[in-house]
Amino acid sequence: MFGADVILRMAAVQGWLGSWSRLTDSRRDPFSGIYQLNAFDLAIVIPYFLVLGVLAAYGLHRYWLVYCYSKHRANIPVKPAEPTLWPKVTIQLPIYNERYVVERLVEAISRLDYPSGLLEVQLLDDSTDETQEVARGCVERYRALGLELGRLHRANREGFKAGALAEGLKSASGEFIAIFDADFQPSPDFLRRTLPYFSDPRLAMVQTRWTYLNRDYSALTQVESILLDGHFVIEHGARARSGRFFNFNGTAGVWRRKAIDEAGGWHHDTLTEDTDLSYRAQLCGWRFLYLQDIECPSELPVEMNAFKAQQARWAKGLMQTAKKILPRVLRADLPAGVKAEAFFHLTANISYPLMVMLSTLLLPAMIVRFYQGWVQMLLIDLPLFLASSCSISGFYLTAQRALYPQSWTRRIMYLPFVMAVGIGLSVRNAKAVLEAIFGVSSEFARTPKYRIEGQSGTWRHKGYRNRAGWMPYVEVALGLYFAATVYYSIQNENYFTAPFLLLFVWGYLYTGVMSLGQVWLERLHIGVRTPEEIRPAASGVPGF
């Protein structure tokens, strides 16, 4: 019955497409052969080109970032001499229900090579589960070994991570503030390598590059690492080298305490409090520095729903920051290039709702454009598609070549996967971006970590989960819709577009099926506890 139903439905679709084909042929001028667009066609084609044009503009911006990164490749900061007197540093470790990784974090901090009398460590523990006991045990153990380690516990979590950092600053005594999230592992020489750059009195923040403890765990973690490498190498590299504004990434960096205070401190009215503070500080005249050669290992999300929740939080937070900060940037006395780059940076995630619009318009637009002729498609559609899509592969390929000059060719195989996953994320991220635009407050979904390193370890029998919700069903539906689009293109001998359309099929089906599959797999493990990990802000304002 199922097979017969599918055949009948495909026949119905094919009949509808055939009817449209006959209708379109009847609207071709018999003398000129030019296809006459009616009002319905225009209602399809005009939004199609508007969306594709905006996506192409952001694609061209990616090309510009690659160009800017290469043009300013000689603008690498030179490490100054070590200071004769090292300053006092406060290390802040914000955690929330991180029982699997908190001990690893504190152990890494205890190995830092820095004068013990000049190092203060704050464990900012907002946990509500047994992480509290683990954290207390860590504090007792490492204090006995001589580490100046204190634990600050809050019961209300107001402001989430931003609130915890602000609360810690009230008692912090360091001239500089280093911040590490729960899954990060700074090397012993981290402070000795970063602090000498603060000999520049106007330097506010030093950001280092993330690397990944579990990059080779799965195809998903490989894709995540390539996506983040593009951000840290090309985006940060181009902006920092050319004197544009760029942002602190919330962890694996060091701040000058005075700059935080002068910029107004930590705010929790956006989900990306790090980008918010970064722009406010740079608007006050403070300088930022990105050190690509200093690495800080971290743990990537290994579960699809956790990865999607993380990406949605970043997408929403960046758009919230754009609404809050971008008017100030555009009014400021800054070079036009700095303002333009800030605009593209802060509004980049508008591409997600546009991608969903493009997804729904692509099949009818393809039909209309097909009957207008190949010449117009090659002269208009193809350049726009190349600008909006091929820039992605060049962007990430350049980053891999910069980081892995000896082995980057082995990573080429992941680039179609990267593009497909980026498409698959568009539904969840589009919802997040629209919530930010229209001021919709939402629950906060944290990104759980399971102490998975290398290719070993599993998440299945551990607590902490992100809900899948209804989004995966929409993703699967879009994947099937694009399968029909591929079928149509092949039926009409439009073979050139089929590989591109298959990326949409792959991306939507992969993210949707993986999300649902991991939820169903978890439900098969009877007795595995999966506590709720999505909590609204006590203040009603979303935060970390």
Residues with a catalytic annotation lie at 126, 274
HEC string for 139-208: HHHHHHCCCCEEEEECCCCCCHHHHHHHHHHCCCCCCEEEECCCCCCCCCCHHHHHHHHHHCCCEEEEEE
Candidates 344, 349, 485, 499; CA nearest to 420 is 499
Measure the CA dihedral 326/328/330/336, to 10°.
-100
Give bridge partners of residue 256 from the DSSP assignment. Answer: 176
Asked if 226 contacts 411 with a C-beta cutoff of 8 angstroms, the reply is yes
Dist CA 438 CA 243 (whole Å):
32
Ramachandran area for residue 264 (φ above 0: left; ψ -120 to 50: alpha; else beta): left
Calpha distance 77→98 (Å, rounded): 35
Sign of CA dihedral 321, 254, 124, 105: positive
Alpha-carbon gap, residue 142 to 107, rounded angstroms: 8
Give the tokens for residue 358: 């493009």
- 298 DSSP β-pair partners: 212
Residues 350 and 319: beta-carbon distance below 8 Å? yes
DSSP classification of residue 210: E
Instruction: Please state, in angstroms and rounded to a whole number, the distance separating the CA atoms of residues 451 and 241.
Output: 34
